[in-house]
A and B are shown apart, each in its own frame.
Chain A
Amino acid sequence: MEIREFKYPEDLIPTRQLWESIEKGINLGLSDEPGEIEKKLKRDPDLFILAISEGRVVGSVIGGFDGRRGMIYHLAVSAQFRHRGLGSKLMAEIENRLRAKGCIRSYLMVTRENAEAMQFYFERGWERMDFIVPFAKNL
């Protein structure tokens, strides 16, 4: 299993296929269009991580750091590769990379119905923030 940074554009097709295959928790939107991915990679090429097995994309995670807080997006592991520690490996990798940039606290979002994902994050030291209501706006 290889953990490496996203290669543009050759990883676009398999990574989108991976995200589409995830049953719940990944809602593809404007930020997942190729042009937006290219923009993200120009800013943080080292925070877009893939897991590769036998030449196939089987996992992903994306990080962001604005100088104050980190954010983690699109942790995904192909169904055939779950329960082998790959999600933990990807999370450890992105957390280490954020930490190396000076990030001291990070957020991530989980859809309400995704109890399995919540349990996964609890077990890795993440806290639920019930006092916050997320807001969003297209700019």
Chain B
Amino acid sequence: MPTVMLAEDDETMVSLLRTLLGMEGYQVVALEMDQDIFGAVKDNRPDVLLLDVHLPAVNGLDVLDQIRADEKTREVSVVMTSGLNLEVECMRHGANEFLLKPYMPDDLLGILKRNLNSTARGNS
């Protein structure tokens, strides 16, 4: 079962995403907002990290930089999200995908599927 890690500050949104992704067969790991995201990625090695650029305590781009700089985490697929169109910046920092909010559930599911497929190809 592929694992999706969520770094999202709105509890209701976490609940909605957990339901959606659970129904689609994903295991969901939702991080607490006081949790060290990079440390959690390093420890859990999720298949995909869904990471908001604007989190209360940390800039998602800084976390992405950490992930890409560490050999244990650099292959983790990271999907960045924001209400602002920061696609160019996110891709420059090494994101696999950027998802502009508000997005429809099918957009997220399509991106996850695509990234899991590419991860599987990369591992073969």
Residues of A within 8 A of B (CB): 10, 12-18, 20-21, 28, 32-34, 55-58, 78-80
What's the count of A-B pairs with C-beta under 8 Å?
A: 55
Number of chain B residues close to chain A: CB under 8 A: 18
Report yes or no: A21 in contact with B105, Cβ–Cβ below 8 A: no
Report yes or no: A57 in contact with B102, Cβ–Cβ below 8 A: yes
Report the separation of the CA atoms of residues A34 and B105 in the bound assembly, to the nearest whole angstrom: 15
The majority secondary structure among interface residues of chain B is helix
Residues of B within 8 A of A (CB): 10, 12-13, 15-17, 20, 83, 85, 100-108
Please pick, from A14, A20, A28, the residue contacting B103 in the complex, using a CB distance under 8 A: A14
Residue of A nearest to B82 (CB): A21
9 residue pairs of the A-B complex, CB under 8 angstroms, read A12-B16, A13-B108, A14-B101, A21-B101, A28-B12, A32-B12, A56-B102, A56-B104, A80-B85
Please pick, from A10, A13, A80, the residue contacting B17 in the complex, using a CB distance under 8 A: A13
Report the separation of the CA atoms of residues A28 and B12 in the bound assembly, to the nearest whole angstrom: 10
Report yes or no: B105 in contact with A13, Cβ–Cβ below 8 A: yes
Residue of A nearest to B83 (CB): A21
Chain A residues with CB under 8 A of B102: 13-18, 21, 56-58, 78
Please pick, from A20, A21, A33, A55, the residue contacting B104 in the complex, using a CB distance under 8 A: A55
What is the minimal beta-carbon distance from B68 to any residue of chain A, in angstroms?
A: 26
Report the separation of the CA atoms of residues A21 and B103 in the bound assembly, to the nearest whole angstrom: 12
